[in-house]
Amino acid sequence: MLALGAILTEAGLPDGVVNIVPCVRANEVMEPLIRSGLARKLSFTGSTKVGKILLEQCADKVLRTSMELGGNAPFIVFEDADLDEAVAGALAAKMRNMGEACTAANRLYVHESVIEAFGARLAEKMAALQVGRGTEEGVTVGPLIDDAARAKVAELVADAVARGATVLTGGAERDGGGYFYAPTVLTGVSPEARMASEEIFGPVAPLSPFATEDEFVAAANDTPYGLVAYVYTNDLRRALRVGEAMESGMVGLNQGVVSNPAAPFGGVKESGLGREGGSVGIEEFLELKYIGIAMG
């Protein structure tokens, strides 16, 4: 953000239009500002837990808000999908920022007729990823943000395995002087496993089989979150039908990355309020005013 501020200044933005306030305890800075009534709009990107706290604070002044919160993205692979494309999409959707992204694929539902082949191909690709420090040559997977994040990932994997999941690759912490966790693929993940309902926020891809469209739609929508869903199929009618059925603000059809600065970005349910990006994102910061004029 400091670098962005310097770029805006260089571009000619007047002093005081954008102010960047680095802080260690953001809540101690923001709550007084929110409750003062000086702010007109709050835009927040972060966890659903913190977003709810901010919404409570904003309610006092009826402050307009935009919230880009957590996710629990389903990634669906139908039997007619191109498996090589689906594997590449799963890697993109799962492994950006080591899985620490709100748009990361969190639950992978694969048709029972192709789950074995898909799992084998995905595990091969994940196992080939090199884990280490960013200064090391060939590294593609870095550490998680802190020890607590790595511990949570380890707990979720252990819970899934205890409930019957099979580890196809990974499934353990990595040494290396950082908070490393091996890229992991699990299959046979129970709906009762914690990672079926909690955001993993790490390099773990849990696979679950499905037999019918209705079965996986019900499972995919069984979450308080609704940011993004990914659907892989070569049947256009099915793609549109499933895209409409997904309770999410965004759907990636045969693509593992949906972010686009020209498109509206955001979710439904506990994944957020409002949209970022495109003209819709600008409208989030504008107020409509109606002026009625009596001409007689």
Catalytic residues: 68, 102
What is residue 276's DSSP assignment? Answer: B
Nearest to 188 by CA among 168, 207, 212, 211: 207
Please tell me whether residue 284 adopts helix, strand or coil conformation.
coil
> With b meaning 16 or more CB within 10 Å and e meaning fewer, what string describes 87-102?
bbbbbbbbbbebbbbb
Q: What is the largest CA-CA distance in the chain?
A: 81
Strands 184-187 and 228-232 come out as unpaired
* Cβ-based neighbour number of residue 260 at 10 Å: 11
Q: Which residues pair with 141 in a beta bridge?
A: 131
Q: Are 203 and 98 in contact (CB under 8 A)?
A: yes
